[in-house]
Structure 1
Amino acid sequence: MNDHATDSHRQIARYRSLIQVTAVLSRHVRTDELLRAMHAQVRVLFDTPVTLLALRTPQGGWHCLTLESNNLSEQFIGLRPDGLLERVLEGRLRLENDLPAYLERERLGVVRVHHRSDLPSTLSWMGVPLQAGAVTGVLSVQSYALNAFTPEDLEFLELLGVHLSIALENATLHERVEREAHTDPLTGLWNRRRFTERSEAALLGVRRGEPHTLAVMDLQDFKRVNDEFGHDVGDQVLVQVGQMLDRLTLNGGHVFRLGGDEFAALLPSREAEALRGVQDLLDELRDQVWAVPTPRLNVGLAPAYPEDSVSEWVSRADARMYSAKRQRQQLME
């Protein structure tokens, strides 16, 4: 077989590999899963020890995932006015088979994006832009050897970059649709649908011996706020309350707006600890500056039991919340 036929067969095999890689990437609808799958699949097309996927952050920096010698590392790099990644996006850099000489000639410094200082330095470097919809990034493959890549390698990396851009855009859209389906549009908290899902998951944890406490809350006389100050002010109050409640997530909890002025929190702790956390929050709420008289939260706490259903668990918390509400109303009369 002559050299031309050998090259043709090799290219056909490589295109088949590219199709297989594309098929693998298309099966992932979550960005984190897609990024990790991409690293594994790049090695199907390139004999290279290093792959880098860098996605632009809203602040202008980079979220980098690097696979080097089977070590996957994650790093955030701040905004750089003129770096290798920026040059790829600007169309000024694609392939350099002597990276040290290029850096010296261009008087560029580079940031090493992994924690293994014992590994060799990159000598050959390729990078292509990832641009599709809201996705902006760079896909790079690197080698410890000089003159490791060919123009054909760059062509296949560009083709892979096109498919990866589309897969990333699809994953981003899927996550946005999923997030909107589970998020309250006013407060940004999770909604009732998500509450049901997370409650079921929490009860599974309880059956494994993991404590959980449910806090159900509503705002005392919230209708009066809307009537006296208007619904726009009422919405501001709900948003501010939601921001306060979101602090409960700092210790692993989940917070939800169930509808109207009703909120809930799933807290991964026993009732006594959950009560302390909620009480601290109520104290902070009273110290806030409000556009209306300081709102008051009625709270009902209920620990979960292994035999509980979601409805039974919620009913106990609801009963305690309404009891607290009645007591408060009686004191106000």
Structure 2
Amino acid sequence: MNLHASDAQRQIARYRSLVRVTAALSRHVRTDDLLRAMHEQVRLLFDTPITLLARCVPGGGWHCLTLESDNVAEQDIAPRPDGLLERVLRGTLRLENDLPAYLRRESLGIVRLHHRSDLPHTLSWMGVPLHAGEVTGVLSVQSYAQGAFTPEDLEFLELLGVHLSIALENAALHERVEREAHTDPLTGLWNRRGFGERGEAALRAAHRDGARFTLAVMDLQDFKAVNDRFGHAVGDEVLTGLGLLLRRLTGRGAHVFRLGGDEFAVLLPGDSGQARGTLSRWLEDVRGHPWPTAAPPHLNIGLAQAHPGYSMSDWLREADTQMYEAKRRRLHLLGTEADRAGD
């Protein structure tokens, strides 16, 4: 009787832990935050030193977050035709309390997701699949001890996997809605809303830390004539081509935006002189691109460096002024008075 009472109390405690874990997961709406919270919360259910969350990545392979002895590691691993994670997704593996014997019996090798030689090897292993909309993965808990897990442990891990799958699906939906709200549908660049948020963040950094940022605003000279002569489909192709070229600037720390119509913006780190050099080199890419109109479009670009006390409207107004002056003079690039001296 006492044994049954003890078992009942343990079950109640575990279900309470599951409720707490579920509540903790519900507080996170971003996938990375959710996965890291999961690592911490899983210890409420299992007395185990290792938690692994593996997500399938496009093109094959896995993105893994591992918590082992309080150390969090993040790693990408290549796909394997018959690995432990692949077996979980196929439904042929769930629980092994003597992992080395299982590996020998099945003639399998494993990838160890840390490089510390002082930690022991996993002896007991459990894994359950995660299916959450576009997210597919595996949740695994592991132990250095043999015989560490029971069928009841697996049942709870499966319940936890269901809750984690729901939380992952909600997080993916939230991220997709956020991304769509900040993204231009034609070019895939950040839209005006994203521009406002990132621009304000740059101004705060400039005010607070003295960080240097330069805003470039550009439009396409006589873009209406392109639509009138070649049609809107070709006009859209020109805009998407420009978006692709602008993305190359992100490798130099820039953020790129489509503000609407044929108007784009680039937020570059550094002063206006550095930005001018970067954009001058980028214009060579524009000239060498295979445009559907044969001749490359003429871009008018105005530069404005952030200054203490600027508001977002001040900053944008100065860059716009320089852009319209470049358009009037049919120049590619104009910035501050010091920049103009070289034109």
The answer (yes or no) to whether the contact 1:55–1:136 under 8 Å persists in 2 is yes
Amino acid at match of 1:150: T
2:335 aligned residue: none
Q: TM-score, normalised by structure 1?
A: 0.97
The 5-angstrom pairing of residues 125-144 of structure 1 reads: 125-144=125-144
Matches within 5 A, 1:74-223: 74-207=74-207, 208-223=209-224
Amino acid of the structure 1 residue aligned with 2:329: Q
- Partner of residue 279, structure 1: 280
Unpaired runs of 5+ in structure 2?
Answer: 332-343
The aligned residue for residue 329 of structure 2 is 327
Shift of 1:55: 0.5
Whether 1:264 and 2:265 are equivalent positions in the alignment is yes
Which among 293, 307, 310 is matched to residue 308 of structure 1? 310
Once residues 12 and 273 of structure 1 are traced to their aligned partners in structure 2, the CA distance between those partners, rounded to angstroms, is: 64
Tell me the secondary structure at the aligned position of residue 330 of structure 2.
helix
Once residues 176 and 120 of structure 2 are traced to their aligned partners in structure 1, the CA distance between those partners, rounded to angstroms, is: 40
CA distance in 2, matches of 1:275, 1:107: 60
Distance 1:117 1:267 in 2: 44
- Residue identity in the other structure for 1:253: A
Structure 1: tracts of 5 or more residues without a match: none
| Residues in 1 aligned to 2:80 and 2:226: alpha-carbon distance in whole angstroms | 49
Distance 1:59 1:117, change over 3 A: farther
Q: Give the distance between the partners of 1:185 and 1:80, measured in 2 at CA.
A: 36
Query: Retained in 2: the 8 A contact 1:59–1:79?
Result: no
Q: Give, in whole Å, the separation in 2 of the partners of 1:277 and 1:114.
A: 40
Q: Residues of 2 paired with 1:314 and 1:132: CA distance?
A: 42
Matched residue, 2:291: 290
Secondary structure in 1 matching 2:170: helix
Q: Give the drift of 1:113.
A: 1.5
**What does 1:58-77 align with in structure 2 at a 5 Å threshold?**
58-77=58-77
Tell me, yes or no, if structure 1 residue 37 matches structure 2 residue 40: no
- Find the residue that maps to 1:47 and give its secondary structure: coil
1:19 and 1:323 mapped to 2: Cα distance? 62
3-state SS of 1:46 partner: coil
Deviations 1:230-279 (A, max 9, x none): 11111111111011111111122110000011000111111111111111
SS of residue paired to 2:257 = strand
Conserved 8 A contact 1:123-1:145: yes
Instruction: Report the aligned-residue RMSD.
Output: 0.9
How far, CA to CA, are the matches of 2:300 and 2:116 in structure 1? 53
The answer on whether the counterparts of 1:94 and 1:126 sit within 8 Å (CA) in structure 2 is yes
Look up the SS of the partner of 2:131 in the other structure. strand
Name the counterpart of 2:228.
227
Secondary structure of residue in 2 paired with 1:294:
coil
2:193 and 2:159 mapped to 1: Cα distance? 40
- Read off the aligned partner of 1:273 and give its amino acid letter: Q
CA distance in 2, matches of 1:116, 1:274: 44
Deviation track 1:123-182 (CA, whole Å, cap 9, x = no partner) reads 100000001221210000000111111111111100000000000000000000000000
- Structure 2 distance, partners of 1:311, 1:157, is 53
C-alpha distance in structure 2 between counterparts of 1:226 and 1:104, whole Å: 67
Deviation at 1:54, TM superposition (A): 0.3
Provide the rounded CA distance (Å) in 1 between the counterparts of 2:104 and 2:28. Answer: 40
3-state SS, counterpart of residue 216 of structure 1: strand
Take 2:290 and 2:65, find their aligned partners in 1: how far apart are those partners? 42
8 Å Cα contact 1:54/1:63 also seen in 2: yes
Q: Give the TM-score, by structure 2 length.
A: 0.94
Matched residues, number? 329
Task: State the identity %.
Answer: 71
Instruction: Give 1:5 shift.
Output: 0.3
